[in-house]
């Protein structure tokens, strides 16, 4: 597969409601949309690294620059037969996992187009429909949170994940559990706690949580191992897993019993598949995490959630849960189950004129030249 042209569009997507976590509050999200071309084949992809480097050191701006300055010349016009070859070519540069993933995903998209297969078929997915879970950000008060959860359950979401932070944890969870004693409830700390909070985190065992996601800082795999050794609730790692090596080390140290899989965070779909297989071999739970993608990225994630080792409902917002966008279709579901079609790549029609009209930056790359950008 030789990709001979790529259109890169950097968008700012306004959220329907503010997204508040331990990192801060977001009213919008910036995401990179890439349209890849190989001869007569073409396909759109999305990679969302968020607007600011608060989730991880990389963000949409730095990913875009890394694509332009370092990775595009290693990728465009080269004949890659496998995604592993792309990963190897990119490995001369450290980090920049979202930039690497954005280009590798172009290869997957056009491979699907060439083979006339849906993404879930190409990667060995075994499910024709996948369960959607919802993540709920910090709310202004517990009453607002309970109302949000009730609406999610009526929609049919199979799993509810709450954002928590120091001071907004135990009391809030207790009230939610009292109101909804039987739901699949998880919490996400976004690295807001430290080893000094082990007793607080251990006290959450009484609430029968499905898991506690990323309690400590993203580099603290050893500290997570210390916590998992004294807590009954499963620890799930997100930000800490930025490569296959990180996943192998975390599992070997006993730092977690679950991993949230995000291809942008680990450097591409090829690496996500390897980590998925590693989890499956070691009886470690895994599921597909979200990055506040548009419906385009959500549908890509839905196909990934068809993998046989997925053990939990994935982060798959449906309808207008996150956005009201005019350039793509909303993700639809039946009782919060997303049915996957056999259309080549993913079934997402994009209005290119409307998408490009909203660009804050746009650039086109061909094998022979780079067409001038604007922002």
The residues annotated as belonging to the active site are 163, 262
- Asked if residue 360 lies in contact with residue 375, where contact means CB atoms within 8 angstroms, the answer is yes
Cβ neighbours of residue 163 closer than 8 Å, sequence gap 6 or more: 20, 21, 22, 135, 136, 137, 138, 187, 188, 190
Residue 176 tokens read as 């939610």
In whole angstroms, what is the distance from residue 183 CA to residue 177 CA?
A: 8
Which one, of 203, 186, 105, lies nearest residue 149 by Cα? 186
In whole angstroms, what is the distance from residue 205 CA to residue 234 CA?
A: 9
| Burial class of residue 253 (count of CB atoms within 10 Å of its CB; 0-12, 13-18, 19+) | middle
Q: In the chain, at which residue ranges do the beta strands (DSSP E only) sit?
A: 5-21, 24-38, 41-47, 129-136, 159-163, 185-188, 212-213, 235-237, 258-261, 285-288, 314-315, 337-339, 359-366, 370-374
**φ and ψ at residue 91, rounded to 5 degrees:** -70, -10
């Amino acid at each position: 597969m030789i990709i001979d042209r790529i259109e890169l569009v950097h968008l700012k997507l306004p959220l329907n409601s503010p997204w508040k976590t331990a990192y801060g509050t977001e009213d919008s999200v910036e995401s990179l949309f890439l349209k890849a071309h190989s001869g007569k084949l073409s396909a759109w992809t999305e990679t969302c690294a968020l607007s600011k480097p608060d989730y991880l050191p990389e963000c949409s701006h730095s990913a875009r620059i890394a694509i332009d300055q370092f990775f595009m010349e290693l990728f465009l016009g080269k004949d890659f037969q496998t995604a592993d070859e792309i990963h190897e070519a990119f490995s001369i540069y450290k980090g920049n996992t979202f930039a690497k993933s954005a280009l590798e995903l172009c290869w997957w998209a056009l491979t699907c187009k060439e083979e006339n297969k849906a993404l879930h078929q190409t990667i060995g997915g075994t499910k024709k429909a996948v369960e959607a879970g919802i993540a709920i950000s910090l709310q202004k008060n517990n009453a607002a949170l309970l109302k949000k959860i009730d609406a999610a359950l009526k929609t049919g979401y199979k799993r509810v994940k709450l954002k928590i932070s120091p001071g907004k944890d135990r009391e809030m969870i207790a009230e939610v559990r009292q109101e909804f004693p039987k739901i699949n409830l998880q919490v996400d700390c976004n690295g807001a706690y430290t080893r000094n909070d082990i007793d607080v985190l251990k006290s959450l065992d009484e609430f029968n949580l499905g898991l506690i996601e990323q309690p400590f800082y993203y580099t603290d795999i050893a500290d997570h191992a210390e916590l998992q050794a004294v807590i009954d609730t499963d620890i799930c790692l997100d930000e800490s897993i930025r490569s296959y090596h990180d996943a192998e080390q975390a599992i070997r140290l006993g730092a977690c019993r679950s991993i949230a899989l995000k291809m942008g965070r680990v450097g591409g779909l090829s690496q996500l598949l390897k980590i998925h297989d590693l989890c499956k071999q070691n009886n470690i739970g895994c599921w597909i995490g979200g990055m506040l993608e548009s419906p385009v990225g959500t549908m890509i994630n839905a196909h990934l959630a068809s993998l046989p080792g997925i053990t939990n409902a994935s982060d798959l917002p449906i309808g207008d849960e996150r956005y009201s966008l005019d350039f793509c279709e909303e993700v639809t579901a039946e009782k919060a189950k997303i049915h996957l079609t056999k259309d080549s790549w993913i079934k997402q029609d994009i209005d290119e004129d409307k998408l490009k009209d909203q660009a804050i930056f746009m650039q086109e790359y061909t094998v022979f030249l780079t067409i001038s950008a604007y922002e």
